[in-house]
Structure 1
């Protein structure tokens, strides 16, 4: 076997000097293989969003605190382009949206909260977040999705849960058994590596063992190693028929192998070392020598391109010490740049943001002060300044079934297609077989499964960006025959009217509200100043509606439930409104069967409308309402009793006579206006801005004493912190009156794109 040790040259292009082809031609092909991928990625501004919540399980009338990282999807640095995060909370199984709000992004970080009201049904929910450069049509990998459990009472968490045995063999026989050859194909006459994966109908792994049959005779046996996955080796005989039979769980079904090729090339990973990858490349006996090219790329970034002459076999060693952590796509090409074989490999799992979280001890008393010391460094122990978030909560509110974290999200979920069972397993240093298990995970993904392959990257150029940071609108003339100016002016202002500015449309009435227009309150108002007799309508886009439309047609990592029927398209732009009547759903507080305006400014408009638009009057020195010659009377009072005329012929002047059937007494109420009527009356349009920020409450028992019970189950929520130049930070917080086991998590992003996570635990006793 010919051995080649490749050395790096500029631009991470690797070129062997022992080639039996024209060097210049070889350089051209290498540059083309690298440049072809760079063409798709160099100008790609693609963000990836990750969500972290203060805990996993919430109760009624609690705040759900969350943090979002918006990172560059290739380099994992904080993404500063996007300014608005769109957040939704959806009920699982019903696909019903219970929360939709916008939050400002500050240098790639968002901190916010969601109030979970008492009327919210119990069950599972999915919290999702989207930014302008993370959400495109027909793709679902770069926006965030987090599973949330909502309960009414804590006692449901205290019930003993049955032990869950991953991969229990006592399952129905409807097992999905996949067989995937390394490199993408089976070739006769060569030893092939074959991976397999067994799951049940719900996608849960199944522990299996079985045998490979050649013409119904056993050739080799195998068993799963991790999460229903495993592998075996065999050398196919030309023309033979191969099938797999499962022994455990016992099944009469036979699973055929993929087609076996008489001629071809095998790409086999011999070793994945800390600083290099060693590949064996073998082609069918009798095949002519030919040049081959091995390309290694991580998230669309070329790490190496190697060229060599392939005879019967070839060994290639590729240095990887300077490559980033993550999944690498290794593709073998021929001289025509056609892919011959492909394999996924995980690089540099130790190249991470190392986080230490130190407590003075493991047991504390209720209301005792805790000091947490945090340090962030690289793999060599050198300090790294990092953006981190910290949360501490009662372990009772932890959901072990949702092991998603910053590492699994950015290194696995956003890189591979399909669901991944227990992704945290592959990043737990306590699992000694995690690297072997991770390699099996990548082997069982199939051909072209990597999100960053060329086919996927080509499509990004044609994919429409769904969201923008700004909110677009348009003034539309109701009667186009009437004279109207080409440019109109609007006034945009906050609810307290302290922040206001002029907003001009273009020649066809279009305008846009930038993120800066939403920083002074949850609502912004637009007032249109009519010119002459021209009448206008206002169309305002609803970007949440666009999110809903796209989300119905793409596959999420978590199942979102039944898909609702899409609304029929029409000629009216999304969010079109008549002047002042907007189609956003405002939350109302219901009491005594009357709608009460939650927004103070709307309540102010309601009061003005009742005073200015009310023509009712009370005749002087009487309780008659709206009788002749009483126009100079006083205004009626809400809730007072008055007399009104109900006879057939209303009097036209006073004094007048009346019979017993000509009048009746009523309790007076002012006219009731809907929000749409109020907005129209005052020539206003209301647009939802950023959701208002709240501070997480933390007591300081060093400075204050509180005789009331302290039942906080979340002791610390510090979502936005930056370690100093020494990579250090210190946090102080206090225990509550709950004696329980607590779990803490520190997650962060280093200035060099390193990602890290650390958990710590302690007990609180009385």
Structure 2
């Protein structure tokens, strides 16, 4: 009837809330203005004569809910069930009998729950959803203490800086540290990071402005604002009517099974390939490692095999399993199954995306940076020269050291362990198994082969087994042919570092790589083609101005001064020291430390050094 009932205003980033008790015979319209003062009118949903409302009020102890039904309601709406779901698990299920009353309240205890989004749904007696609400449980148990600082700060051109990362906890932690030019890109104070991505933005639809604000701030107002996010974003993990009807959601994206060889056999009579036709092949990676595969061929000549991992490129040697058939009149086209991406992006497409441009000063500096880098690349090529003869003196590495460098990585490399170069040990080939080979070779390690089944004990506990640094079991290690074993490392109970052990140490077994395998399966005469793998891992490098180099005469315009994505710290090693040289243009540093520990807790630290 044109009567104004109330005024409302947004309280945080365009979000707000108001309360209204509607009358069934009335229609309601919200009139509002945007930031530019333009006025809009939005009709509110039509008022229903019957229904149920759900009201939630959060506290440190839990989520208090109140369910209210209309005065007139069908029988199914008088016996309700309140269900709380979190992390794909149903945590609570409670009944509310509203036969004689119109409202009931209760509390869902949440003080001991992990932080995250909880979905609360009210179902009637027929399990039909009537009302739903999402809330955020924030118990602040998701972060662990760490710090990063510069003990030596030097903002001069090519100045040497030294810093340290330290964790307060003793849990195994995987951290990433970057040091960049703070003036090249404007970064919002509370932009999305590892904490907000895992807990909030990874689940919610739509854009959330400054999502880390809700976790960085400990004020009550931040919790109120986070509740507004829950009220305004359309988050629905489950479609109850479809689930109750037995209709499961369709998977639009398949789970990746790594690289695949998928192709087409060309030539011959298509559609008439005999059943059971098979290709056998060898995949030889860049480091000469070889993998034997079988490729079934259907009647239309299609082949597929997946679950492979290799980098850069590999060579596929192949032939028909039936050696009477040759590839004289046939050929094979294959694809690795990876997404090919867009060949180009037009400016019109960018305009449609409405990407906001950066600050004009930052934009101008980025353009100049790109132009200068092109000039330096040309100068660097001109600087290339043939050096005089250099004589390098050093200690000769032992075969054991070479094997350790060739096969081990991370927690498995170096350390206090017994190493066995099985590939060059004549007794290795004569042993029936890994365990028979190790019998009597390691003090304190008890190995029994009673009944042909190995039983191992070290200081009263059983060791943990690793095959090529992946946790394995006794039976798999027992069945490895000794001709395939290259290297074995045995870590004592006190020397296993961050490995998952039960106090009995660890035994790591490595199978031979391509260069150590006796080439009995010559690929001569086989058809072959090259296939592309994952992009090779790039190792971040930075100049060392303590040593002379011809390229040091060129301008240094690096924007990333330091980066290490693989920092592993634990009880035995809680500190990590690093150093880097400044560029010629950087005036302020941005340090960003992020990571996760073995308990699933996060850390995010960002510092501006000037």
Q: Same fold (TM over 0.5)?
A: yes
Q: Which deviates further from its counterpart, 527-536 or 750-759?
A: 527-536
Conservation of the 8 A alpha-carbon contact between 1:479 and 1:534? no
Q: 1:423, 1:727 → 2: CA distance?
A: 33
CA deviations on 1:181-205 (whole Å, 9 max, x unpaired) are: xxxxxxxxxxxxxxxxxxxxxxxxx
Highest relative contact order (Cα 8 Å, sep 6+), 1 or 2?
2
Counterpart pick for 1:472 among 261, 264, 282? 261
Match of 1:354 among 139, 144, 162: 144
Map of 2:229 onto structure 1: 441
My pick for the range that moved more, 239-248 or 454-463, is: 454-463
SS for the counterpart of 2:199 is helix
Q: Which one of 206, 212, 216 corresponds to residue 424 of structure 1?
A: 212
List structure 1 segments (4+ residues) > 6 angstroms apart after TM superposition.
Answer: 481-485, 546-549
Separation (CA, whole Å) in 2 of partners of 1:733 and 1:408: 29
1:691 is matched with 535
Structure 1 gap ranges (5+)? 1-214, 378-382, 550-557, 562-680
- In structure 2, C-alpha distance between the alignment counterparts of 1:560 and 1:535, rounded to whole Å: 53
Residues 1:492 and 2:278 aligned together: no
SS in 2 for 1:439: helix
CA shift digits 1:2-43 (9 cap, x unpaired): xxxxxxxxxxxxxxxxxxxxxxxxxxxxxxxxxxxxxxxxxx
How far apart are residue 718 of structure 1 and its match? 1.0
Q: TM-score, normalised by structure 2?
A: 0.59
- 2:26 pairs, out of 240, 253, 257, with 240
Aligned to 2:370: none
Larger relative strand fraction: 1
Residues 451 and 537 of structure 1: is their aligned pair in 2 closer, same or farther, counting only changes over 3 Å?
A: farther
Residue in structure 2 matching 1:714, options 544, 560, 568: 560
1:761 partnered with 2:552: no
Give the secondary-structure state (helix, strand or coil) at the position aligned to 2:212. helix
Q: Secondary structure at the match of 1:468?
A: coil
Query: Is the counterpart of residue 540 in structure 1 residue 313 in structure 2?
Result: no
Matched residue, 1:370: 162
Counterpart position of 1:314: 104
Q: Contact conserved, 1:474 with 1:538, CA < 8 A, in 2?
A: yes
Write out per-residue CA displacement over residues 334-369 of structure 1, whole angstroms, 9 at most, x where no aligned residue. 221111110010112512123432425695444233
Q: 1:411 is matched with which residue?
A: 199
Maintained 8 Å contact 2:128/2:240: no
Distance in 1 between residues matched to 2:248 and 2:123, nearest whole Å? 21
Query: Shift in Å at residue 717 of structure 1?
Result: 0.8
1:64 alignment partner in structure 2: none
Q: In structure 2, how many angstroms separate the alpha carbons of the residues matched to 1:400 and 1:360?
A: 21
Preserved contact between residue 266 and residue 333 of structure 2 (Cα < 8 Å): no
TM-align CA RMSD = 3.7
Distance 1:283 1:685 in 2: 70
Partner of 2:470: none
Deviations 1:354-388 (A, max 9, x none): 343242569544423322223265xxxxx543222
| Distance in 2 of aligned mates of 1:540 and 1:456 | 40
Q: 1:32-90 CA distances to partner (integer Å, 9 max, x unpaired)? A: xxxxxxxxxxxxxxxxxxxxxxxxxxxxxxxxxxxxxxxxxxxxxxxxxxxxxxxxxxx
User: 2:578: which partner in 1?
Assistant: 732
Shift in Å, 1:503: 3.8
Residues 713-748 of structure 1: CA deviation (Å, up to 9, x unaligned): 322211012220379332311241445121111222
Instruction: Say if 1:233 and 1:512 are closer, same or farther in 2 by CA, change over 3 A.
Output: same
Q: Which protein is richer in helix relative to its size?
A: 2
What are the within-5 Å matches in structure 2 for residues 496-507 of structure 1?
A: 498-506=288-296
Provide the C-alpha distance between the structure 1 equivalents of 2:273 and 2:110, rounded to a whole number of angstroms: 70
Change (3 A) 1:306 1:729: farther
Q: Is the 8 A contact 1:483 1:534 kept in 2?
A: no
**Equivalent residues of 2:173, 2:569 under 8 A apart:** yes
Classify the secondary structure of the residue corresponding to 1:229.
coil
CA shift in 2, pair 1:278/1:399, >3 Å = same
SS where residue 336 of structure 1 aligns?
Answer: coil
> Out of 93, 106, 110, which is 1:305 matched to?
93
Whole-Å separation in 1 of the counterparts to 2:39 and 2:538 = 61
Distance 1:475-1:261 versus aligned 2 partners, 3 A rule: closer
Q: Structure 2: where are the runs of 5+ without partners?
A: 344-351, 356-524
How far the C-alpha of 1:262 sits from its partner, in A, is 2.2
- Going from structure 1 to structure 2, the CA distance change for 1:455 and 1:755 (only over 3 Å counts) comes to farther
1:316-335 equivalent positions in 2, closer than 5 A: 316-335=106-125
1:295 match: 83
Q: Secondary structure at the match of 2:197?
A: helix
Instruction: State how far apart, in whole Å, the 2-side matches of 1:453 and 1:749 are.
Output: 32
The superposition leaves residues 250-290 of structure 1 with CA deviations (integer Å, 9 ceiling, x where unpaired) of: 556432111112222111112x2223111122222365783
Would the alpha carbon gap of residues 275 and 704 (structure 1) be closer, same or farther in structure 2, given more than 3 Å must change? farther
C-alpha contact 2:284 2:291 (8 A) present in aligned 1: yes
Q: Is the 8 A contact 2:146 2:603 kept in 1?
A: no
Q: Following TM superposition, by how much is the alpha carbon of 1:422 offset from its aligned partner in structure 2, in angstroms?
A: 3.1
1:591-630: CA deviation from partner (whole Å, max 9, x where unpaired): xxxxxxxxxxxxxxxxxxxxxxxxxxxxxxxxxxxxxxxx
Tell me the number of residue pairs that the alignment of Structure 1 and Structure 2 aligns: 411
Matched with 2:175 is 388
For normalisation by structure 1, the TM-score amounts to 0.48
Match for 1:748 among 574, 592, 595?
A: 595
The 3 A distance-change label for structure 1 pair 414 and 295 is same
User: In the alignment, is the contact (CA less than 8 A) between 1:356 and 1:374 conserved in 2?
Assistant: yes
Corresponding position of 1:515 = 308
Q: What are the superposed Cα offsets for residues 534-590 of structure 1, whole Å, 9 maximum, x if unpaired?
A: 5223142452358779xxxxxxxx9599xxxxxxxxxxxxxxxxxxxxxxxxxxxxx
Change (3 A) 1:740 1:413: same
